[in-house]
Amino acid sequence: MDRQTQIRLLVAVVLVLILVAVFSGFFTSNATEVSYHPEFKELVKGGQVESVTITGQSVEGEFAQAGSIDDTSYEKGDAFSTTLPNESVVGGDGRVEQLLADNDVTISAEEPSDGFGRLLLIWLFVLGLFVLFFWYMSRQARGQMGQIGKIGKSQAKLHKPHEPDTRFDDVAGYEEVKQETKEVVAFLSDPDKFRKAGAEVPKGMLMVGPPGTGKTLLARAVAGEAGVPFITVTGSDFMEMFVGVGASRVRDLFKTARQNAPCIIFIDELDSIGRKRGAGMGGGHDEREQTLNQLLGEIDGFEGSEGIVLMGATNRPDVLDPALQRPGRFDRQIVVPLPTIDERTEILQVHTKGKPIGDDVDLSVVARATPGMAGADLKNMVNEAALIAVRRGSDVVEMADLEAARERVTIGRERASLALDESEKETVAYHEGGHALAAFLESEADPVYKVSVLPVGQALGVTTQLPTDEQHIYLRSYLDARLRVMLGGRAALVQATRLARAVVREYGMGKLGPVGYGDDQQVFLGEDLARQQEHSDRTAELIDEEVREILNDALDAVCRDFERLRPGLDAMVRLLVEREALSGEEALKAVRDAVGPEEQLMLRGDAVTPAHSVDMGDAMRRDTETEVEAEQGSPEAAEAPSEQEQAGMA
């Protein structure tokens, strides 16, 4: 509870106590009310009253002895009160004074009060409540006006020197990226050294890379190593519903930076305000463009001696305005790619440090089994493995836990609630077995890692392949092998069509020759909403015909081979239905054992076993190649797209 809340609570308690004290006399009374006739007269005549106090027509006193009135008992010393009628005026024969005197009752008299004091107190209390209410409302109004006055102020957070405790040693891998940023650290630490040589450090550095690769972490490491103030802000912090607020916040940000120079300004998600101007419907967002204009002007206003370095991070450099990346602004672009195998090993060592890891865990094997994962993905996988270990009642993370976590992150969690009957399971097994068998036939296909008919994520089954090399160039023969593997399950038509169309349109590998026919870049990223067709209708027909021909040829080739290997496919399916999941080696062995020597020579593909039992070798830097079929409907339904389909010629 903060101090302001405590004060408000204390004031409320005090007001309640005052209210109780003021009004308690109106609603509570301990005196027993008795009637004047006959009860009061009988009490006086019976010697039950020793003294009374008369105030106007009100009489108050105490009982001299214990007794009862109308079944209401009282004790000696209890108070009572009564009201005199108008005819019972004090004084004279037969009046109340005479009655009390005849029975030896001591009489005291007080002047009746007009109640002005209590009434005044009540009104003062009510007036105080009104004053307190209007004071509170005016204070709230001043606070809101103050917030409106601050709306044009920068939302950036200023970290003092050495507050960011991150260092380069805390960032695993990325040695080349560190090397590019170290000269910025050296300049901020000792700018005179560079001035003497007449050198200038780039005013702006733009870190580009996929999400989760550690761009923000690297910026913190630069600030921590340099030991200078570090100002952080996100691109969305500049945007507000009021016109001109973004530009005002940019001015205030750079004013703060000049007051704390040398320093580092870090703008995360730069594409929020740095998108191309004049793009989109209506020519663009005017407020965002004015904010960008102000940012460009502030960067150009720098001088090399000011010692202010601007750092930005984005995973969409393609949508940035060209003016941001020209010399003098963000003139150095640092690519922060997905980590390599060795870098993934180092990242895993960082995230498993201090955790109870089993003796059977080999992080180098885990790194080989996690191609395409960024640092954030690896951290999530290690945490998922720890959760899996806890679920099975262990406080030590073993290799099997990491393997299960890897599959859950890349493929999805097995759904025990979705049970397939035998006929459905057999249908899915033929579909998944077809993918695996097609991979066994292709020497250039990625090795089969796992075949399963267990519902996983949104899939009814899964066939997983893992690459064995870090490839950067994809040959036409490799793409053809991928097409045949996709069509081996017959349902991957959407993926296969997309890949075949890319072969013809984008890669220039078809009969139409080495000509590119446009791309599929999304229009909402800052490009024009309407694009002109880059080829004739006749060319579009030729593209469709060749795509259809490529797919038909691939499917015919797969069907011819499957006819000869049908016994092997049936054997693999029977084993898959029985066991529900097979490793690549187990699936390949089932096929080999069921076919003749000549058919065995056709199996030129390879397979790998799960990571927790065998070292799978080097893995290429891309996502695990996984084929899934949609949960809704039969295995002939469209399949989820794979990241690897986007692979093109380097």
3-state SS class at 539: helix
432 an active-site residue? yes
Residue whose token pair is 């009201």: 83
Instruction: Tell me if 108 sits within 8 A of 61, measured CB to CB.
Output: no
- Residue-wise over 407-427: b if at least 16 C-beta within 10 A, else e? bbbbbbebeeeeebeeeebbb
List 289, 414, 432, 627, catalytic entry:
432
What is the C-alpha separation between 327 and 641, in angstroms, rounded? 39
Residue environment code for 79-96, b if the CB has 16+ CB neighbours within 10 A, otherwise e: ebbbebeeebebeeeeeb
3-state secondary structure of 82: strand
**Neighbouring C-beta atoms of residue 186, cutoff 10 Å:** 15
CA distances from 202 to 183, 256, 270, 329 (A): 10, 20, 18, 8
Using alpha carbons, select from 399, 389, 334, 396 the residue that is nearest to residue 366.
399
Q: Indicate the helix (H) or strand (E) that contains 591.
A: helix 584-594
Half-sphere exposure of 520 (CA within 13 A, CB side): 7
| Single-letter residue type at 408 | R
Helix (H, G, I), strand (E, B) or coil at 1: coil
Residues, the chain:
650
Asked if 491 and 639 touch (Cβ cutoff 8 Å), the reply is yes
Burial of 598 (0-12, 13-18, 19+ CB in 10 A): exposed
* Catalytic residue positions, numbered: 432
